[in-house]
Amino acid sequence: MVDIKAFSGYEIVGGGVCAAKGFKANGVCCGLAHKPLNKTEENSAIANNALPENTKKKNDLAAIYCEKECAAAAVYTTNKVKGAPINVTKRNIENGYAKAVIVNSVNANCCNADGEEKAERMCEILASELNIDKRDVIVASTGVIGQVLPIEPIENAAKELCEGLTEDGNERACEAIMTTDTVKKQIAVRFKLGDRQVTLGGMLKGSGMIHPNMATTLTFITTDCDIAPEYLQRALSENVKITLNMASVDGDTSTNDMVCVLASGLAQNKKINSENEDYETFKNALYIVMLNLARMMARDGEGATKLIECICTGANDDETARKVAKSVVCSSLFKSAIFGEDANCGRIFCAVGYSGGDFEVSDLNVAMASKAGSIDVCKDGSVLEFDEEKAAKILAEEEINIHVSVGSGLFSATAWGCDLTYDYVRINGDYRS
């Protein structure tokens, strides 16, 4: 987790998407992830110590709900092939408001002739149980692309899903959105706006098929801040660029990526409807949450053993800083070297060189660092001799920092990625099975 000491007035708290006032969540196993047994079959299997592996119950359907109408904002994948839920959600929150989220894992509901019909039906199912308008529902799906989504399991589980909505249901919901994730990813922060205490929290799923320039995976954020939809959208869009869009696992942009925010206003702060001091305070809170979620995602990349953080400084423009930082964490050759703990710094220079950033090679300086120390590997565009043994100790740590300076400019950027391991191929070689 990122140290937030630099952000005075913010406190990390528990609760994820349920931390903010007014929000409840739940997650259930409806049978999309694993075939559930009926009670007779289950009792028999347990008695004979023969519960099959594929019948273990993992939550695969989640909901988030607030009784009060919430300001809503979202950012979506830039992939031209989009999952049906994205099109439905876009229409539903066109007015800037929503009350609930329904999301399933296992099946992406993408590239299906009946995709939008199924996504609309998911909204109707949740709306009927909660007695709200179906247009107040955000819908999302994640999982295998190109397989028809069975709607019956979702219909059958809707009552249990909604009756189980609680103010501490974030753990169940977080499990339900996971696919190849190995850990739950959630965080919340508390801060003050005037004399009012405000909370903002979120959860994220993402481990593979992750690459910059999109919303990057499924991310759900809730807050009790009172903020106009226009400024909620502005804060989200600005933060996506420097957090989720700066994380990459494998260079593949998914079809279903979406990040959405719901703001209940129940903190009763003075409503944010301009880019004032309160707006900046809120935007910083959103940044803290999204930054931490982006780092968690990169660290939990499919098969990953290490988190890579690349910081580019000295750029003459923001675009160059971002291009250079992202190019390094996206390099398959460099990612492989990090897995092998091989200080093959030439791969860094190569990635910086093809990044498309505007800089002079003679201004390039590179260092590698971790908790084990730091070592300079390039100065003024030329490779330096360095202690291979010390470099190996640095790369043996779980978090590796690459510092790239491209001049004396005022712009900088940070990107996050992970190493490329044998397990990545194994996981994706049999993803559907």
- Domain assignment present for residue 155? The answer is yes
Residue range(s) defining the domain that contains residue 99: 11-43+57-299
Q: One digit per residue, pLDDT tens: the chain, 433 residues? A: 655 656 789 999 999 999 999 999 999 999 996 554 455 544 554 455 444 444 457 899 999 999 999 999 999 988 888 889 999 999 999 999 999 999 999 999 999 999 999 999 999 999 999 999 999 999 999 988 899 999 999 999 999 999 999 999 999 999 999 987 888 999 999 999 999 999 999 999 976 555 666 545 899 999 999 999 999 999 999 999 999 988 876 565 678 889 999 999 999 999 999 999 999 999 999 999 999 999 898 877 667 789 999 999 999 999 999 999 999 999 999 999 999 998 888 899 999 999 999 999 999 999 999 999 999 999 999 999 999 999 999 999 999 999 999 999 999 999 998 888 887 777 667 655 4
- Looking at the structure, tell me whether residues 33 and 162 fall in a common domain: yes
Stated pTM of the model: 0.84
Boundary residue ending a domain (244, 269, 299): 299
- Say whether both 172 and 258 belong to one domain: yes
Show which residues are catalytic: 216
Q: Is residue 217 part of a domain?
A: yes
- Whether residues 288 and 322 fall in one domain: no
Total tally of structural domains belonging to the chain: 2
293 shares a domain with 369: no
Q: Is residue 1 part of a domain?
A: no
Contacts 24+ apart (CB under 8 A), 7-14: 7/284, 7/288, 9/191, 9/192, 9/281, 10/189, 10/190, 10/191, 10/284, 10/285, 10/288, 11/189, 11/190, 11/191, 12/187, 12/188, 12/189, 13/188, 13/189, 13/190, 13/199, 13/201, 14/188
Q: What is the CATH number of the domain that holds 321?
A: 3.10.20.340
Q: Give SS3 for 31.
A: coil
Co-location of 207 and 318 in the same domain: no
- In the listed set 299, 315, 343, which residue is the last one of a domain according to the structure? 299
Q: Is residue 2 a part of any domain in this protein?
A: no
User: Domain boundary residue among 299, 317, 343?
Assistant: 299
The answer to whether residue 52 is domain-embedded is: no
Distance of alpha carbon 180 from the chain centroid: 13
